[in-house]
Amino acid sequence: MKLGIRLLFVFFLLNGLAAFFVLRVFVVEIRPSVREVMEDMMVDTANILAELASDDLAAGRLTEGRFAAHVRNYASRPVDARIWGLDKQSLDFRVYVTDARGLVLFDSENTAQGQDYSGWRDVARTLRGEYGARATRTVQTDERTSVMYVAAPVLRDGAILGVLTVAKPQSTVQRFVDRAERKVLLGGLLLLALSAGVGVAVTLWVVWSIRKLRRYALNVQAGQKMDVPLVPGELGELAQAMEAMRARLEGRDYIEGYVRALTHELKSPVAAIRGAAELLQDDLPEADRAVFAGQIEQQVQRIQRLIDRLLELSKLEQRQSLLVDAPTSLRDCAEAAIAEAQARARQKNVAITLQGDGGSGPFEAALVALAVSNLLDNAIDFSPVGGSVRVDLAGGRISVTDAGPGVPDYALPRLGERFFSTPRPNGERTGSGLGLAIVRQIMALHHGNLNIVNLDPAAGPGLRAELNFAI
């Protein structure tokens, strides 16, 4: 599973659990709290009404007294109230009064008068001097039909004359609970959508940043030139730490590799110089002394070329970007390289031809010309006397083709490695291999590539080296 999918999964899992617990708290806590508030209100109401009914009950005129008349008037009283956006058009209290035996003396709904309510919990507990309350469903399977009954004793001189009970359907407050549920649900959905949007944005940012770091690490591993990705926050610090670590490791490996390779390459010319110098100390004919002196000069030049190319390659490997002010024409770069190589080509009687125009782009002209010059040097070295070298331009591609013997297939993948080279034709000296290494570094800076292939034997011998630039 990809990182982005895992992050989103964890995020939505946490949000889902949070939403579940919020709704759970609402169901477990808010609904009972509403009922508790309603019960508290009914306790106050029952005690007030019990106090108002005490005189009529003590006088034995409860049904004809002022208390009963006021309660009946309350039941028929018109109501038009708007409570926090919800309309109330009727009064919902039911009031009944029993005597000390539990017989109903008065019922505001005129449905239970004369009945024995001594067995109901609200009446029985109140007659015993306890707090009496009950909740009874009119339909046993439907919680919404539950009616809450709260009783208060009717007292006279400390004696319980009877019980007054106030009843109120829970459905009258259910709409407030339903509205609260809808608001909580809507708010939860909006919060979930907002948090989901934030989660997706954060996840995309994290994945995007990590992918930039991953791409940078893979390009560095492949030996390509790439700037440190600009990533904010801790990931940016990680990128800088990775770059510092890469630089230290690369520098150490770079020095170690160069020391080993340079030591190997210098063994041969140093040995030749030492041998010729020892011979020059003897009494030799002038002709022999000239030969040995020429060998020393030749080997010194070889060492100088080696050092120059090493310095050139070292500078290229330390660079991270190009110096470009304006678009550069590939044809101009090729013409400059050909003009520089003409002297060596004439010495070997090799003709250089240029075909095509090529494109233009954000290229560093000096580096492109240097890359083409190194390819021309190799092509001239491998070309037979009187042969030809062709330079072709097409779009962002520069190809240099010679008519030499080519390169063994096993060696093709290694061309461009430092100090790896193949023998020149006719037993000539072996090169240092730094020329193609320089070319590869130049192409890496241009985010291009070097491709070297042998020509089809059916068309004749030869080698083609292609520089592919992104235009």
Segment 410-438, tens digit of pLDDT: 888 888 776 677 766 655 555 666 778 88
The verdict on residue 279 lying in a domain is no
Structural tokens at position 165: 């009970």
Mean pLDDT over each residue of the chain, to the nearest integer: 79
Report residue 281's pLDDT band, with 50, 70 and 90 as the boundaries. confident
Exposed (0-12), middle (13-18) or buried (19+): which is 448, by Cβ within 10 Å?
Answer: buried
Structural tokens at position 456: 């089809």
Of 179, 206, 225, which residue sits at a domain end?
Answer: 179
The rounded distance, in Å, linking the Cα atoms of 106 and 94 is: 11
List the one residue out of 343, 308, 337 whose CA is nearest residue 432. 308
Of 179, 205, 231, which residue sits at a domain end?
Answer: 179
The secondary structure element, H or E, covering residue 392 is: strand 388-394
Beta strand ranges found along 319-385 (DSSP E): 328-329, 351-355, 360-361
The verdict on residue 129 lying in a domain is yes
What CATH number is given to the structural domain containing 384? 3.30.565.10
Which residue in this structure is represented by tokens 């007659």?
Answer: 127
Distances (CA, A) of 457 to 308, 310, 403, 460: 36, 35, 11, 5
Amino acid occupying residue 428: E
pLDDT of 54 reads: 93
The verdict on residue 205 lying in a domain is no
The verdict on residue 55 lying in a domain is yes
Q: What are phi and psi of 96, to 5 degrees?
A: -135, 150
Report residue 3's pLDDT band, with 50, 70 and 90 as the boundaries. low
Pick the more confident residue, 326 or 363: 363
Number of structural domains found in the chain: 2
The verdict on residue 21 lying in a domain is yes
The verdict on residue 16 lying in a domain is yes
**8 Å CB contact between 276 and 296:** yes
The verdict on residue 300 lying in a domain is no
**8 Å CB contact between 98 and 107:** no
Exposed (0-12), middle (13-18) or buried (19+): which is 103, by Cβ within 10 Å?
Answer: middle
Per-residue pLDDT reduced to its tens digit, 101-151 = 999 999 988 888 899 999 999 999 999 999 999 988 877 777 777 889 999
Sign of CA pseudo-dihedral 374, 375, 376, 380 = positive
Which residue in this structure is represented by tokens 């469903």?
Answer: 137
List the one residue out of 445, 459, 455 whose CA is nearest residue 467. 445
The verdict on residue 247 lying in a domain is no
What CATH number is given to the structural domain containing 61? 3.30.450.20
388-394 vs 351-355, strand pairing mode: parallel
List the one residue out of 261, 301, 297 whose CA is nearest residue 421. 261
**Would you mind telling me the total number of residues written for the chain in this entry?**
471
Q: Where in the sequence is the domain holding 134, given as residue range(s)?
A: 3-179
Is residue 255 pLDDT above 60, yes or no?
Answer: no
The rounded distance, in Å, linking the Cα atoms of 314 and 61 is: 117
DSSP 429: P
Of 164, 179, 194, which residue sits at a domain end?
Answer: 179
Mean pLDDT lowest among 39-48, 325-334, 427-436: 427-436
Task: Compute the C-alpha angle 205/207/212, nearest 5°.
Answer: 95
